[in-house]
Amino acid sequence: MARPSILMSMFFVVSLLFVTSVLSRAIPNQTIELDKLSRIQAQLEKINKHVVKTINSPDGDVIDCVLFHDQPAFDLPELKDQKTTLKLPEWPMGYNSSEDTTTKVESIQLWSASGEECPEGTVPILRTRKEDLLRVSNITRFEQKSIQDRTDLHSYATVFVRGDEYYGARTSLNVWAPRTYPTEFSLAQMWLVSGTYEAKDLNTIEVGWQVYPQKYGSYNPRLFGYWTRDAYQTSGCYNTQCPGFVQTNQRIALGAAVTPISSYNGKQFEIDLLVSKDPNTGNWWLIYGSGLLIGYWPSSLFTGLKRHAEKLQFGGEIVNSRVNEHTTTQMGSGHFAEEGFGKAAYFKNLNLVNSFNEFIPIPVTNLELTVDHPNCYDLSLLSNNNFGTHFYYGGPGRSPKCP
């Protein structure tokens, strides 16, 4: 009769060991998951501010109207005491701005297409949600460029000017929705640059449109801004997701989707962007169209750009995360520059602001090109009376021509 008892005891011991083994694996995983959710919640509370009004966009975005001084920028100690009444920037000479900078313009974003805007005294901030943080590998760097963004896995089709002191840049660029691999991005932007990546003193202000599904959770092109002062190492962020950019406009929000979009062999939709350094405050203002102020990057954010830019760059960029073959992520319209107007993406009327605060065209002869994968994405630089200094750019990514 002793034999069954022994067997039962052995069975109990084995079962206990199995359960203990399972729990030892499950509890740490559960702890890790709870810890991640706790960090996500803390990050959301840090980014998202007290809401006065909520606007639900047709594309699923949520726009929070927050009091001007509750926006993330004013978490910066040096900005806490800034007055609520902003002094308008001094316009560059030769820039035809509207006298009334509060004039409403035709909506360029989905969330405000119905006429919605934030109440007086508040500004629109794209809400960051839990699912936005769950899509990224490092939630503490959610607002910054990822390691993938900062490696050599890029393709560029750009033009640039250097060798002088620059206090602003302006261009008009048409908007597309290029096909983009889920973990990659495709963008069109202008860069204002000081310092170098190698010396780790790179300062940049970057503005334009981008399709970045991993970041935004959709494939819509979005108006965006970015800044850094140390070559993307520890400083800087997208849009208003960290203390930095000061939003002033009630109807245009960085990070929100742009509408409408250009169509192949059809109507073209452009956005007109100017970044200009105010000679009185040193702040870098982002301006849409003929004088509609979106907001500014305070001079105190920067080192080199505290003085001026040393380089201006315009064009397209994609990130390629593929290892053995080129990505299928498109640049621009997904078509090569040779197809021209209505089919290829373009930048037109390239202008700069010089040291005398004069707004002047950039001559074609002053521009240099960066086209590092011409079989995948290319660029054609031109000049005429209608488009001024301009270029077509883009391409399909992986194709028979681009293996």
Distance CA 160, CA 18 (A): 64
Distance CA 203, CA 142 (A): 20
Catalytic residue among 317, 338, 358, 368: 317
Distance CA 330, CA 205 (A): 24
Q: Contact, 240 vs 72, CB < 8 A?
A: yes
117: annotated active-site residue = no
Coil, helix or strand for 170?
strand
Distance CA 33, CA 322 (A): 29
The answer for residues whose C-beta is within 8 angstroms of residue 145's C-beta and 6 or more apart is: 226, 228, 232, 236
Task: Determine phi and psi for 216, rounding to 5 degrees.
Answer: -100, -15
- Concatenate the DSSP letters of all residues of 57-82 into one string: -TTS-EEEEEEGGGSGGGGSGGGTT-
Catalytic residue among 143, 184, 206, 310: 206
Q: What is the DSSP letter of 112?
A: G
Q: Contact, 87 vs 281, CB < 8 A?
A: yes
Q: Which residues pair with 316 in a beta bridge?
A: 157, 188
Q: Kindly state the tokens that stand for 303.
A: 């080192």
Distance CA 256, CA 110 (A): 8
Distance CA 238, CA 254 (A): 9
Q: Contact, 327 vs 397, CB < 8 A?
A: yes
Q: Kindly state the tokens that stand for 54.
A: 């909520």
Distance CA 90, CA 279 (A): 7
99: annotated active-site residue = no
Number of H helices, E strands in the chain: 3, 19
Catalytic machinery residues: 206, 317
